[in-house]
Every structure is written in C-alpha cells, then in structure tokens.
Homo-oligomer: A and B are copies of this chain.
Amino acid sequence: MNRQELVNLIKEKQSYLCVGLDTDIQKIPKHLLSHADPVFAFNKAIIDATKDLCVSYKINTAFYESMGIRGWESLQRTVEYIPSGIFTIADAKRGDIGNTSTQYAKTFFETYKFDAVTVAPYMGRDSVEPFLQFSEKWAIVLGLTSNEGSQDFQLQPVGDGFLFEKVLKTCMEWGTPDNMMFVVGATQSSSQLGYIRKLAPDNFFLVPGVGAQGGSLEEISLQAMNKDCGLLVNASRAIIYAGNGEDFADDARKVARQYQLEMASYLNKMVAAA
C-alpha cells in the first residue's frame, strides 16, 4: 500500500487505529481451545469485529514464533484473512547485516505479503536499506519506544541531542516519507512527542503504548498529528482482551469503536484547524 492510499483510508474510515494481534494462547477465551487453530479462530473473530473501525493490523511475530511451526501457520492464516485494503504490519523488529536483512525483507514482504515490517536500527545503514528496496512496502524503524528501557540507550546524549534523534535524522537520509515510518511510543511526554514531530514532519509514526501501557491517545494526537494525520496508533491488549467470554469479539469491538470515535474527533479538529 502506498502513502496516498493509506492517507485516503484514514479519511474514509475516520480512524488511524491499528489493532495489535499479540495473540497469546494462554489469554484467549477457553472455549476457543477446541478449534484446530485456536489462535487463528481468535484472530478471525477479532478481525471480523473490528475491520471497519481500524486501518491497520499489527501482528507481533514473537507470540506466533514461540509456538513453533503451528504458530507460523496461525500467522499465515491470519495475514491472509485480513481484508485487502487494510495496512498490515509485521512487528518483528528485525535488522542484521545487508545480506541477512534482505532475507528478512523477503520473509515479510514476499513470503507473507505484509505492507510493513518494524526494523531495529542498531546495526546501521546496511541493516535498514534492504527493507527500502520494495515498491509500496515500508520499513518502520524504532525511534523512541514506549518501554522503560528506552531510557537506557535511546535517551542517551549523542552530539547535541539524544541517540533516538540521531537515529531519526540519519534514517531520514536513507528513506523517505513514502517508504519509512518511525516507532514513537505514546508513553513519552507531550513535549517529547511534539519535538519528534518537528524532527520528522512528514513521516508516519506507528505509536504503541496506548491502553495497557498507559499512553494517552489525546496527547499523541494533539502533539504528533500532521496534515495527513501521519499516525497509526496501536492498541493490542486493551482491545483484543477486552472480554473473555463467548462474546469477547463484541467487547473488543466496543473498545475499538471508542478509540475510533475519539480519533474521528481529533481528525475533525485537524480539518477545522487547517
């Protein structure tokens, strides 16, 4: 999916919600365990219940990998089930020397046909560039993440800024707003969020940390929205584990609907302000 298609999708659906399918077989409703593929059965119900409210699904590969080969089967069924026209993200945080990153890019863009994959930048240019060589595909590079550990290295001073700023500025020399996004955690302070938007005015941000991790949808929206919206805000546990009974998908829909309505209000403010 290209940038304009994503921007149009957000306008049409009045949503920039990304639903995170961090599906843990230990946490799904017990009645699903009799299915041949309980994880897929769960994801299918969540997708059916939320596909009109979100513009993206993000699959956290770790939860699938940990189940071995049947986990990858669940992942493949899930990504194939997501309706075309919805932006798909492999949250895999890959990154290695050039010939190996090329293999990872092929994995997620060709073998599983995702639109985007999250990329860890520590190994530098040749670890990131292979993900930028695919038409209408995206590298979503870790910038400033939502977890406490973001302080350990990302917020270390480098030159006249922090390491994450160096990462953003350097990566913007390699990619464009048409093939590169950044991960920016919703748990960061509002001044930090506004500052990051100034650093990267045109790139989309994938924003985790809303919901279970405590980040504020209002803060991230007011501080970091740009004229094209420029945000994909992810909620995982807050939506997919909203309920635990037979009607878990209805509960997930209710929470997704709340997010979507709140997002519509911020999109309207943006239009009014323009």
Contact = CB atoms under 8 A, between A and B. Distances in A.
A183 to B, nearest CB: 10
Contacts of A62: 94, 96, 100-101, 103-104, 107
A154 B120 contact: no
A226 to B, nearest CB: 25
A98 interface: yes
Contacts of A148: 124-126
Given A124-B153, A156-B166, A158-B157, A112 B147 contact: no
Contact of A104 (B66, B112, B156): B66
A147 B124 contact: yes
B72 A68 contact: yes
Interface string A137-164: 0000010011111111110111100010
Contacts of A103: 24, 60, 62-63, 65-66
Given A62-B100, A62-B103, A100-B22, A153 B170 contact: yes
Nearest to A158: B156
B149 A127 contact: yes
Given A66-B104, A76-B68, A170 B147 contact: no
Interface size class on chain A is 35 or more
| Residue among A151, A156, A166 with the highest chain B CB neighbour number at 10 A | A156
Interface in A81-105: 91, 93-98, 100-101, 103-104
A141 B31 CA distance: 40
Contacts of A154: 122-124
B120 A93 contact: yes
Interface in A45-94: 60, 62-63, 65-69, 72-73, 76, 91, 93-94
A230 interface: no
A111 B145 contact: no
B145 A66 contact: no
A167 interface: yes
A94 B149 CA distance: 15
| Residue among A60, A63, A65, A94 with the highest chain B CB neighbour number at 10 A | A65
15 contacts: A66-B110, A68-B76, A69-B73, A93-B123, A97-B145, A97-B146, A98-B147, A123-B142, A126-B147, A153-B163, A153-B167, A156-B158, A156-B159, A156-B166, A158-B158
Given A69-B76, A122-B154, 18 more contacts: A60-B96, A60-B103, A62-B94, A65-B103, A66-B103, A66-B104, A69-B73, A72-B72, A93-B123, A120-B120, A121-B152, A122-B153, A124-B148, A124-B149, A126-B148, A127-B149, A153-B167, A156-B166
